[in-house]
A = this chain, B = another copy of it.
Amino acid sequence: MAAIDLNSDLGESYGAWRMGDDKAMLAVVSSANVACGFHAGDPAGIYRTVKAAAENGVVIGAHVSYPDRVGFGRRDLDATPEELIADVIYQIGALKGIAAAAGTAVRYVKPHGALYNRIAYDARQGQAVIDGIRAVDPSLVLMGLANAPILDLARRAGLAVVAEAFADRAYTPKGELVSRREAGSVLHDAKVIADRMVGLAQSGTLEAIDGSTIRVEAQSICVHGDSPGAVAIAEEIRRRFTAEGIAIRSFAG
């Protein structure tokens, strides 16, 4: 039976501010990328999310970020490797502590936002993230962008990796994400998106923005939960996967 992981960014509330519908998403996904406090997440809120994930049997990953709360980790930052290694270790450690307190464990690391995009192709910062992960716990899996160089970089360093596709994003004929600045880069129709993801899970292919068929080797699909519309798309994907007999299952099973 086909199986794939569904992941989503959770724990992104901060103090009095709410973001996303963690409860709804924990009923949809198999993996939760949990904020670690640098772009989002305060300790009490992270703890609540991790406990809820554990109760739902959802696997936990560390959603590490540049230290940029006001910019939500979405702004490129020229951190040095020394800074980045330590920032990664610190954040993973903090989430491991919270996971231990909640009776669960951190199984993977997915960098967030600008850091995610940068290390997909930037070997210097990418190596720093890899070095940080390996230093704190070499059994952690790195989740990275499908078809991007970061995956091989991590494999060569001895890390297990998981390639990720984005449910609501268009792809270029080369298998890269279409930039958000271009028209058609983000998909909004739940049925179209679910169709694409069923195809991805069954055949490892997607239709690129030019109509060509491309290979996207992905063991995980990222879905969003930051708006009612986003939750509805995620739920539709789950519904279709269930109907098609595609298991939704963490790679860290």
**A interface vs B, CB < 8 Å?**
13-19, 37, 40, 42-44, 46-47, 67-72, 74-79, 82-83, 85-87, 89-98, 100-101, 114, 132, 135-137
Contact for A43 among B15, B75, B89, CB less than 8 A: B89
Known: A92-B97, A96-B97. 17 other contacts (CB 8 A): A15-B71, A16-B72, A16-B74, A43-B89, A44-B82, A47-B86, A47-B89, A67-B70, A71-B83, A76-B76, A93-B94, A93-B96, A93-B100, A96-B96, A98-B136, A101-B132, A101-B135
Q: How far is B114's CA from A216's CA once the two chains are assembled, in angstroms?
A: 38
Give the top 9 A-B pairs by smallest Cβ distance, nearest first: A93-B97, A17-B17, A43-B86, A101-B135, A43-B90, A16-B72, A44-B86, A94-B94, A76-B78
Question: In angstroms, how far is the closest chain B Cβ from the Cβ of A75?
Answer: 5
User: Once the chains bind, are A136 and B89 in contact (CB under 8 Å)?
Assistant: no
Contact for A93 among B76, B85, B98, CB less than 8 A: B98
Q: How far is B37's CA from A91's CA once the two chains are assembled, in angstroms?
A: 11
